[in-house]
Chain A
Amino acid sequence: MKLIPFFVIIPLSCAFIITLFRNRLRFLPGLLCVFSTFLLLGLSIHTKGSLAEGVSFVYKVGNWMPPIGISLVIDGLSSFMLVVINLIAFVVALFSIEYMKRFTARWNFFALFLLMLGGTNAVVISGDLFNLFVFLELASISSAALVAFGTEHEEIEAAFKYLVMSVVGSLFVLLAIALLYSYTSTLNMADIAMSLQAGSAGILIPFVSVLFIMGFGLKAGLVPFHAWLPDTYTAAPTPVSALMSGVFTKSLGVYTLMRILFNVLGVTPQLSKILMVLGALSMVFAVTLAVGQWDFKRLLAYHSISQIGYVVMSIGLMTPLGILAGLFHLFNHSTFKSLLFLNAGAVEYAADTRDLNKLGGLRKKMPVTGNTSLVASMAISGIPPFNGFWSKLMIILACVQANAIGFAIWATLASILTLVSFAKLQKFAFFGALPEQLKNIKEVPLLMRLPMIVLALICTFGAVLLLSPVAGNFLQPAVRVLLDGQLYAFRVVEALR
């Protein structure tokens, strides 16, 4: 458990080494990136394995006792998120070695990639609000630079839009932090939870909660705040879109929102209603927009919003089954959506276009890409053996169980529309006739095929995570943290003793 700070140290120091060497060793940036993400993946699985349920571990930075010093907190939820983040980051890093060969100044990409990963990891393990804000900004700034990486018209426009929106979001978060500080005189999350429990804060808590929902909702791309997301995902280099959709919106948006609302401020029935309505709104609204898209990546981007809607709605139910389903869907979505983005990247790499009208019949020429994308499409639209089916089924069951039949109907409707748009995607990109100009197309290199195969395997056998011995170690501790709400503070105090 002494290894916790390495979740931040490894990516940051590797990013530093890459910038030190620049282009002098051509193979170094990619190799270092893959190596460090692999190390982080191992570390996160080790952390997950060695943490018992219902226990938090607190690392005191510089041996200062919290709440005076900075603390890093690991519990069921954050160790779950760390596994998700580092799994996707490793796979995407592997993919980007070959993919990024088209760009110049590749070392820049890998350094920014690791910087962003360091920020994301640190947000998840941070135990105090201001640290969370600082690392949130670190991740946002480096991701904005990554979106602008191509420096063409679209990339720059999207990066500007994204940067402005995300800064406004962070400003709301900072305002909320300032207001909370003025009431509790502390920035430590456990300490804030304790002092909010001790006295009645009146109107402050709902107000601050709404500010947090606005700020983190912007980062998560929930529907009223989603305008940046389709443009950003379309314009960014594909590994970045995969990482942002698989990891970024979840750890910076959904995780932070849940952590603060459930564990620090304490969630009320009204707030949970707000979360459910926001989730249902994004679920249906985004998927209707997705059906009409003809750009491969833009279609996926709208689905990203809609799937995040599922997660938020399901967690907003506040029942054990709802939270379990939401977290399971979060994991599933990060696997199949990253896989779909990698497929889009592979198609773009081979065919040099993302326009569905100009594609077709790629299945015969690119068997690995075609088949893995079929797996991912079936997983996202909820076709039985794949992981997406189980989580969607659980979400709908949880809605019925919590007496929210309306939400269950919305979820089913969104799922049908998802199926429609992915049937369209498969038909126009991978089935049908091969256009004349794509006759000489080739399958992508091995290093790009391997990550897709790994993710497709996870999508196929994802249901294993629901079997009781595995779920008891992987999902259940995370569910427990959210269910226990403000007991979080007592766990942290317990761990400090």
Chain B
Amino acid sequence: MSAYFLCLVLFAIGLYCVVRKRNIIKIIIGIMISEYAINLLFILFAYRKNGRAPLFSEGLEIKNMVDPLPQAVVSTAIVIGLAITVLTVAIALRIYEKYGTFDITRIRRLKG
């Protein structure tokens, strides 16, 4: 039970980072932290104590396998997270080129 709770705490830490930090790089890291927290939570849902890999072959008895679906789902989610990270970092680089700073309080052309 405490593991689930810790995952949610990790998620909250990531969100705090996104909301409170002024440095763009820290915001990106915050996004990654909360992403990993959810991936971890999803994997934990499928975890079984002393479970074994969900591989099936002749003469093998089916018992106590971990649920394979979340693992497939999470590996997809990780790839999506990678794409997001790449795009945010690329945009962050461009922001640095244009504004010369990573501080979001000084990047304020858009108002209204």
Closest partner residue, chain A, to B92 (CB atom): A160
Give which listed residue, A130, A156, A168, A187, contacts B18 with CB less than 8 A: A168
Which residues of B (52-111) have their CB < 8 Å from a CB of A?
Answer: 67, 69-70, 73, 76-77, 80, 83-84, 87-88, 91-92, 94-95, 98-99, 107-110
**For the complex, is A148 an interface residue (Cβ under 8 Å from B)?**
yes
Name the segment of A43-51, A175-183, A466-474, A489-497 touching the other chain.
Answer: A175-183
Give which listed residue, B11, B15, B80, contacts A137 with CB less than 8 A: B80
Give which listed residue, B69, B76, B88, contacts A134 with CB less than 8 A: B76
Q: With A160-B24, A168-B15 as given contacts, are A175 and B84 in contact (CB-CB < 8 Å)?
A: no
In the complex, which residues of chain A have a beta carbon less than 8 angstroms from the beta carbon of B77? 133, 174
**For the complex, is A75 an interface residue (Cβ under 8 Å from B)?**
no
Please state if B84 and A153 are interface contacts (CB–CB under 8 Å). Answer: no
Give which listed residue, A163, A187, A230, contacts B91 with CB less than 8 A: A163
In the complex, which residues of chain B have a beta carbon less than 8 angstroms from the beta carbon of A295? 112
Please state if B69 and A163 are interface contacts (CB–CB under 8 Å). Answer: no
Please state if B69 and A187 are interface contacts (CB–CB under 8 Å). Answer: yes
Size category of the binding interface on chain A: 35 or more
Q: With A130-B73, A157-B109 as given contacts, are A171 and B38 in contact (CB-CB < 8 Å)?
A: yes
**For the complex, is A151 an interface residue (Cβ under 8 Å from B)?**
yes
Which residues of A (280-336) have their CB < 8 Å from a CB of B?
Answer: 293, 295, 298
**For the complex, is A369 an interface residue (Cβ under 8 Å from B)?**
no
Give which listed residue, B38, B91, B110, contacts A174 with CB less than 8 A: B38
Please state if A160 and B91 are interface contacts (CB–CB under 8 Å). Answer: yes
In the complex, which residues of chain B have a beta carbon less than 8 angstroms from the beta carbon of A156? 91, 94-95, 98
Which residues of A (63-108) have their CB < 8 Å from a CB of B?
Answer: none
Please state if B95 and A157 are interface contacts (CB–CB under 8 Å). Answer: yes
In the complex, which residues of chain A have a beta carbon less than 8 angstroms from the beta carbon of B41? 175, 178
**For the complex, is A347 an interface residue (Cβ under 8 Å from B)?**
no
In the complex, which residues of chain A have a beta carbon less than 8 angstroms from the beta carbon of B24? 160
Give which listed residue, A130, A235, A293, contacts B110 with CB less than 8 A: A235
In the complex, which residues of chain A have a beta carbon less than 8 angstroms from the beta carbon of B95? 156-157, 160
Please state if A144 and B38 are interface contacts (CB–CB under 8 Å). Answer: no
Encode B19-34 as 1/0 by CB contact (under 8 A) with A. Answer: 0000010010001001
Binding site for A on B (CB under 8 A): 11, 15, 18, 24, 27, 31, 34-35, 38, 41-42, 45, 67, 69-70, 73, 76-77, 80, 83-84, 87-88, 91-92, 94-95, 98-99, 107-110, 112
Binding site for B on A (CB under 8 A): 130, 133-134, 137, 141, 144-145, 148, 151-154, 156-160, 163-164, 167-168, 171, 174-175, 178, 181-182, 185, 187, 230-231, 234-235, 293, 295, 298
